[in-house]
């Protein structure tokens, strides 16, 4: 891959694009754990490979259960009101999370709304929250968890789960691999019976990795000799397609995690496109300024179409990532891209395309 492309892309995107553009087939991609990573264990409690405490602490297996009354539709915004529910927060060692998930997931109905939280690359948002707005068959979730097991059950950069409407049933395994279950009151005995079978006791203060200062890390490794091995960014891209996930943020505003309005900011976007003549996925990278996610995506799509499809033939463009950057990050990135524009005051006052690159194999 050319140096300019390597400079603009994070390792994850460079890996995906190199293999896609070279046409190396991998119909069954998978992922694997970096063998150099050692598991942290305290008093026999095994922590996930991707998240571990960095100060002395005593891990405690157990769960809490609290009743929460129905939330009003007004409180829930665009969502239906959640009913009266019991909330279980469950701490178990890393080697027992997968078995617990499967037993809980078996209680859910056949179609669910998947969820992913991903610690991504946006400079102003710690977690990218993805959620499906239409249900899918449970087998799609189960198949993906099997195919990418190390990512979902060991990686410290991702949390995942699912929710159903009738009955209301919510399971989420967060990035610390702490399990949260929300169920209608009649399900409480079933959940407690399951936890008893797993020898998980009720406890006021269960303690996992998030109970102390801790580190998160990605645990996946890729190799040029193994094009079937993909990384977290690539897995999330595939899950967005397969699970019909949408980034669950307001597309028409531009705020940080504290709700502070940011105005126009620099963005780096990755667009995937295909045509009748070239049906295989291809990618383009863009650096631009915009005042919202929607405008960043629209400008990316319009640019790709105008540059690559001036005749208006069939053309499919999907913006698979749009991440905001700090100004110094954008300036450093633009210096590495040939024929890019500078990040001027005018560019921060009006939406501007600063760099465009069609990604090609080396």
pLDDT tens track for 72-100: 434 444 456 788 999 999 999 999 999 99
Domain shared by 55 and 198, yes or no: yes
Ramachandran bin of 171, using left for φ above 0, alpha for ψ from -120 to 50, beta for the remaining angles: beta
**230 assigned to some structural domain:** no
**257 assigned to some structural domain:** no
**351 assigned to some structural domain:** yes
Residues 6+ apart with CB under 8 A from 165: 80, 113, 135
Domain shared by 310 and 175, yes or no: no
Domain shared by 315 and 173, yes or no: no
Domain shared by 65 and 202, yes or no: yes
Domain shared by 177 and 82, yes or no: yes
Domain shared by 14 and 49, yes or no: no
Domain shared by 77 and 203, yes or no: yes
Number of domains in the chain: 2
Give pLDDT tens digits for 214-242.
Answer: 999 999 999 999 999 999 999 999 999 99
Domain shared by 82 and 203, yes or no: yes
Domain shared by 19 and 65, yes or no: no
CA–CA separation, 162 and 178 (whole Å): 14
Contact assessment for residue 271 and residue 284, using Cβ atoms and an 8 Å cutoff: yes
Measuring CA to CA, which residue among 34, 22, 28 is closest to residue 223? 34
Domain shared by 287 and 157, yes or no: no
Expressed as residue numbers, the domain containing 294 is: 3-30+262-358
Measuring CA to CA, which residue among 132, 124, 209, 123 is closest to residue 174? 209
Domain boundary among 215, 244, 274: 215
Domain boundary among 190, 215, 240: 215
pLDDT average, residue stretch 247-266: 97
Give pLDDT tens digits for 125-174.
Answer: 999 999 999 999 999 999 999 999 999 999 999 999 999 999 999 999 99
Domain shared by 81 and 170, yes or no: yes
Domain shared by 281 and 347, yes or no: yes
């Amino acid at each position: 891959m050319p140096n300019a492309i390597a400079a603009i892309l994070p390792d994850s995107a460079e890996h995906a694009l190199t293999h896609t553009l070279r046409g190396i087939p991998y119909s069954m991609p998978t992922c694997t754990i970096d063998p150099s990573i050692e598991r942290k264990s305290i008093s026999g409690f095994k922590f996930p490979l991707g998240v571990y405490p960095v100060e002395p602490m005593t891990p405690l297996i157990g769960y809490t259960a609290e009743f929460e009354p129905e939330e009003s539709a007004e409180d829930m915004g665009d969502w239906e009101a959640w009913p009266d529910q019991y909330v279980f927060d469950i701490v178990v060692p890393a080697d027992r999370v997968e078995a617990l998930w499967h037993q809980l997931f078996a209680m859910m109905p056949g179609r669910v709304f998947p969820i992913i939280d991903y610690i991504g690359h946006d400079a102003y948002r710690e977690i990218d929250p993805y959620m499906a707005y239409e249900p899918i068959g449970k087998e799609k979730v189960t198949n993906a968890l099997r195919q990418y097991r190390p990512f979902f059950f060991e990686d410290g950069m991702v949390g995942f789960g699912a929710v159903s409407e009738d009955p209301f049933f919510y399971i989420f395994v967060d990035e610390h691999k702490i399990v949260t279950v929300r169920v209608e009151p009649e399900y409480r005995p079933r959940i407690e019976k399951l936890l008893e079978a797993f020898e998980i006791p009720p406890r006021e203060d269960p303690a996992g990795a998030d109970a102390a200062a801790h580190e998160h890390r990605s645990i996946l490794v890729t190799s040029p000799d193994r094009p079937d091995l993909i990384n977290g960014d690539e897995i999330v891209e595939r899950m967005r397609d397969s699970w019909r996930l949408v980034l669950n943020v307001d597309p028409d505003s531009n705020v940080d995690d504290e709700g502070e309005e940011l105005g126009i900011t620099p963005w780096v976007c990755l667009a995937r496109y295909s045509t009748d003549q070239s049906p295989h996925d291809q990618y383009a990278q863009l650096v631009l300024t915009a005042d919202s996610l929607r405008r960043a995506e629209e400008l990316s799509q319009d640019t790709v179409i105008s540059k690559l499809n001036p005749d208006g033939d069939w053309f499919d463009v999907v913006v698979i990532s749009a991440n905001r950057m700090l100004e110094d990050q954008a300036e450093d990135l633009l210096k590495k891209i040939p024929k890019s524009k500078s990040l001027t005051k005018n560019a921060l006052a009006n939406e501007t395309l600063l760099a465009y690159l069609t990604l090609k194999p080396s």
